[in-house]
Chains A and B, each alone.
Chain A
Amino acid sequence: MGSNGTNGDAAVGSDMPRQKGKATPDTLKVGCIAMVIKDGQPRRAEILSIRETKSGRQFYCNFDNFNKRLDEWVPVGRIDFEQDVDWPNPDKDKQKDGKMKKASTAQKKIPGKKTQKRVGKREQSVASEGQTPHPWTDFVESQQVKASPQKAEEDDKVVASLEVGATPGVGSDEMELNEDETPAEVAKRERAASFSREEEIEKLRTSGSMTQNPAEISRIRNISRVEFGRYVLFPWYFSPYPEIFSQEDCIFICEFCLSYYGDLKSFTRHRLKCTLQHPPGNEIYRDDFVSFYEIDGRRQRTWCRNLCLLSKMFLDHKTLFYDVDPFLFYVMTTRDERGCHLIGYFSKEKESADGFNVACILTLPQYQRKGYGRLLIQFSYELSKIEGKLGSPEKPLSDLGLLSYRQYWSENIIDLLLGFSEREERCTIEGIASHLAMTTQDVEHTLQALKMQVYHKGEHKIVIPEKLIQQREKSKAKQKRLIDPERIQWKPPVFTASNRTWGW
């Protein structure tokens, strides 16, 4: 896994051999792969978009083998022009010509859509975002992961030779052409050709609710800052809020009805009128700490759509391609004297052909790393137990999702196995599965991931590693909260054939 090879990683570049050569800040264009400093280290990055700000040109970079949530606008100074740059594949350029014509005709319409005021605002917005330092860069740096083999290799190969100060002259002819385009539009135009439409559309149609939208525009974060309740959130991914919002410095989302505003006055006016203080559905669980609400996507279409838009900012593999009608939303909240505040939720198909008990699952960033994800997962399995079904989350999982699920699975399986081991009983994978309402595949997956499944003297056995036992003891001591199944007031909702026929 060298730093030069992309290893078939679709996130940066493609497998096709590319032309290499030196670039300058003026010639570097969308689609190029360059070495960019990230967290103090040089890293391969694909340029997805370019924009001009008051402080100079900026490049939207997606870093090799880093999750998209770490993509950022980078000033020229962080790009290493001493190193060769991979140029976009010329084949793609040829294809692009046709598309460009289309795009340029479409482009003419777009400025017309906006008022002059809006355009002014956009310029301001672009400029001001350029000034806004990315609040998490420091954080990421502080999070530097201890050297893994991969990192060590990189350190050897790549010697950071960065020459800061090669600031380019602003405003070349090329850039003027693009003046009226938003960064996203540039990206769209540049990259539109590289996808096979039919295939991608088909994928969107047939895949579940956790599919990525292939359009290139969606690779670029469109909202930079969100005011939500007591917090400011910095979105991770694209979300299809009204297009005009991408020009706002900040959008405002009502904490209770999740309505969205680009204008503070509007938001303030809304808050005077909005009477909602908890998710608009029935409370099905309550303890001293959290409440769960069940919301029907069809009955509460506006609220559920708003929820999906919000969560899309933090879920990469979520598609809002289809409407919310066929889903139920289980929303976890924390109570105080102002109302029930949204912590996270999971959605669930009213009828899942594949037996999934979770479609999308999210803990909002301000509540992450506090054990809430575990509660959400536990709750989803408690519902499956009531239904008498084995459940599994819809794939693909996000990186964070995988970790949360692995943790939940391993903790529960280890607890169960320790009991068996103490009683010197044997157990079957099926037994574990039905006890935890997990699928047998997920049980096997966990056992193997933790290297617990062994073959000993011609027999399959389960061995619980000492480390895991100790770790479990520790986490048990820390663990404060669990869902108390006794407090769930819920019956599996029943849907009829006509619900199905008439779109739930």
Chain B
Amino acid sequence: MATRKVRYKKLSVKTPLQVLREDQIDPTEYESLTNESQIATGVEQAEENEYHLQAVLQGAGVAADKEIPVPPPEQSNLNYDELYSQRFSKTSTYIRFSQTVEECVGCMYDMTEDDSVFLKSYNQKRGANPHLSEDDFERIMEVFEDTAYIKTPFASVDQTIVPYDEMIQGLQDLDTSKVMPHAKEIYEYWKSMRQALSNQPLHPALKFETHQETDEMDPYVCFRRREMRQTRKTRARDVQSADKLKRLRKELEEGRQLVLASHARELLKAEMLKTDRAIFEQRAQLKEHKIRLGIKTDDEDLINQKPQKRKAPEVPAIQRPPPSQIRLPVRPDGRPAEADLAQLADRLAEKENELRADIEKKVQNHSEWNKNHVDLTRGPLSPVRGPKLDLSFRPAKTQYLMTPPASVSSGAEEPTPMDLDKPENPPSVFHFWGVSQDEESLERPPKYRRRIGRLNRLWIDRRGMASPPRDHGDDNMSDKWKYDQSSDDEDTTMFEVDPYDIRALRFRSSIPLPAWMTNRLVAVPVGVGNRPAILPPGALPPGALPPGALPPGAQHPNQGVRPPSRQQTGG
């Protein structure tokens, strides 16, 4: 058997198979392939051998009348027609339905046997006074239970019972005239019931997760929230989307303000029309009177004197607030119709301020918590600018070296050589910043940060190194070549422009020496031979002059400065 099995070709699912009825083939000529004799049933292994299942499986294809015994259901003795009295009308089309169970039920409190006993005796005691119906009783109890659920979510642990005063607000939504006379007494009943149940909800509730260890093995704890997918890092696209959303929000807000403003304007216009009309009518009357009484003064009263003057003060009043303050629109006061709108805006502003204060506080808390810690994740709050920032990015102190003016165009825009101080205590932790801080003001000194990236690569990041504006292309270039050069090449000279060219000579002689030079370095020859710079071919734009010579003994700008390359490969 085993040896024969080896000879079987492996059956591919794509192999066309001949299909025969049993009577079309000689049963002695073939054997059925029961692969490894055991066929995975898909039933739990521990149950695969269950007696009744095996009995049916073995009978498969032999007798179909074998069944697995189960506890049989019975007919109910309850009165079905009474319990389920509603008629169901069949629709002609397929039913579409989206209401939830809660919406279909209404009041979610269902009175118990105990409640029923209480309510009966309660109503009896009231005698002639209006009785409390079962429906209203349930509504009141629902309010109590809901309020307790919201206000004391840990009621069963901390045993706080919501006082009656706090229940009243919820009761206001009910039919108060029917409910309020009973509420206090029902509250006492509710309280006693809660206390009897260790302050648990009166309706038996499912056990949900409490995020304690006991959850895990408790079979009554069900319907846990599935752990969220691994939170991924904020990607550039997310930031973009968030920005877009913010902008959309802002623009919509602007649109809203526009609508409100135009509404106000139209109201004003209507008012103005009315006034104009009134004035016109008054004037017409005045005119009539004048004619009638024969008064002959000039008709100054009958024309509009200076309509522009009236408009003028109004313009600044309607002036649109700058977009950043769009939520705090400045509105002209006065008109009653507008007063409403203004109030709404005030309310919004108030809310906004509250929110802001709250956020501010949270930000503060956040930085408080994170004191002496380094947040390696992308927190929900944007990085707080504080002392930490300086720990990671140390400013590079600049120090002006004695450098002669480079060219005529440079003047004050002299490229600034930089000297990076040796760090006293290299930071032991490395910081990652999710949001680039490039928008930092250019006035700040450039800063550097050292960090170790993947594969132990050493990275030097720089910040605040934004190059000077492009139109000073000249300086831009000279900045670059400075760092492209290694100090070994210092003495190599290269002439791009003939220094003895008469035009160049004349030009140089016309350059006045800066004051500090004339004061302190009078003897320095403006020579060409010890010019330090090499210009990569083509680096200097035509017409530009090579920078002046470096005074002897003066430190070359390159020395002590690490080239601010973006990347260095470390060990």
Contact = CB atoms under 8 A, between A and B. Distances in A.
Nearest to B218: A215
Interface residues of B, number: 108
Nearest to A135: B74
Given A337-B87, A456-B25, A402 B42 contact: yes
Interface string A294-336: 0000011111011011000000010011111110000000011
B114 to A, nearest CB: 7
Given A230-B76, A396-B44, A66 B50 contact: yes
A391 B501 CA distance: 88
Interface string B57-69: 1101110101111
A231 B226 CA distance: 35
Contacts of B69: 70, 136, 139-140, 143
Nearest to B213: A197
A309 B30 CA distance: 50
Given A66-B51, A274-B104, A426 B16 contact: yes
A460 B32 contact: no
A114 B199 CA distance: 10
A263 B41 contact: no
B30 A461 contact: yes
A348 to B, nearest CB: 16
Contacts of A264: 113
B67 A143 contact: yes
Interface in A170-215: 192, 195, 197, 200-201, 212-215
Contact of A335 (B71, B90, B100, B203): B90
Interface in A103-121: 112-117
A236 B223 contact: no
Interface stretch (A7-15, A52-60, A86-94, A372-380): A7-15
A280 B97 contact: yes
A240 interface: yes
B347 interface: no
Interface residues of A, number: 162
A460 B17 contact: yes
A10 to B, nearest CB: 4
B101 A276 contact: yes
B84 interface: yes
B197 interface: yes
A471 B13 contact: no
A267 interface: yes
A427 interface: yes
Interface string A325-368: 11000000001111110000000000000000000000001101
A417 B19 contact: yes
A483 interface: no
Contacts of A452: 32
A49 B23 CA distance: 56
A34 interface: no
A280 B101 CA distance: 8
Max count, chain B CB within 10 A of own CB: residue among A10, A263, A399, A457: A399
Contacts of B102: 302
Contact of B22 (A282, A427, A463): A463
Contact of A115 (B21, B64, B90, B196): B196
Interface string B31-68: 11111000111111011011111111110111010111
B34 A448 contact: yes
Given A322-B225, A338-B86, A462-B19, 17 more contacts: A9-B49, A135-B72, A148-B58, A200-B217, A214-B217, A234-B73, A286-B94, A399-B53, A399-B68, A427-B16, A427-B19, A428-B15, A429-B15, A445-B40, A461-B19, A462-B17, A474-B64
